[in-house]
Amino acid sequence: MVVERGARTGRDGSPRLLREINDRAAIEALLREGPLTRAELEDVIGLSKPATATLLNRLEGDGVVRRGELRGGNRGPRAQTWYVNGALAHVAGVSVTPNDVDVVISDITGDSRVEHRSPMPSGDTDAVLSAFGDALTAAAAKVGLRTDELAHVVVGAQGAVDPATGHLGFAPHLPGWEGFDVPGRLGELLGTEVTVENDVNLVALVEMDEGRARDVRDFVLVWLGDGVGSAVVVNRALLRGATGGAGEIDWMHVPDRAGRDTGSDRRGGRFGKLVEPGAIMALARAHGLEAADGEDAIRKAASDPGAREFLTDYARRVATGLAGVVSVLDPELVLLSAGIAQAGGTALAELVAAQLHELVVPRTPVETARISGNPVRAGALRAAIGLARERVFGLSTTAAGVLPASAE
Cα-only R_g, the chain? 24
> Helix 375-393 to helix 199-210 angle, to the nearest 10 degrees?
70
Is it the case that residue 170 has pLDDT exceeding 90?
A: no
Task: Please tell me the distance from the alpha carbon of residue 351 to that of residue 301, in angstroms, as a whole number.
Answer: 12
The pLDDT of residue 14: 60
**Does 122 or 336 have the greater pLDDT score?**
336
Q: Which residues contact 182 (CB under 8 A, 6 or more apart)?
A: 157, 161, 166, 167, 168, 196, 407
Report the predicted TM-score, pTM, of the whole model to 2 decimal places.
0.87
pLDDT digits (tens, 9 = 90+) for 216-241: 999 999 999 888 999 999 999 999 88
Task: Please tell me the distance from the alpha carbon of residue 229 to that of residue 251, in angstroms, as a whole number.
Answer: 9
pLDDT digits (tens, 9 = 90+) for 278-293: 999 999 999 999 999 9
Which DSSP string corresponds to 44-88? HH---HHHHHHHHHHHHHTTSEEEEEEE--SSSPPEEEEEE-GGG
- Percent pLDDT > 90 in the chain is 73
Question: Which of 66-70, 171-175, 242-246, 358-362 bottoms out in mean pLDDT, i.e. has the lowest?
Answer: 171-175
Domains of the chain in sequence order = 14-87 (1.10.10.10), 89-203+377-402 (3.30.420.40), 213-368 (3.30.420.40)
**Does 17 or 259 have the greater pLDDT score?**
259
- Percent pLDDT > 70 in the chain is 93
Instruction: Tell me the average pLDDT across 393-406.
Output: 64
Instruction: Tell me the average pLDDT across 174-192.
Output: 92
Q: What count of residues does the chain have?
A: 408
Identity of the amino acid at 292: A
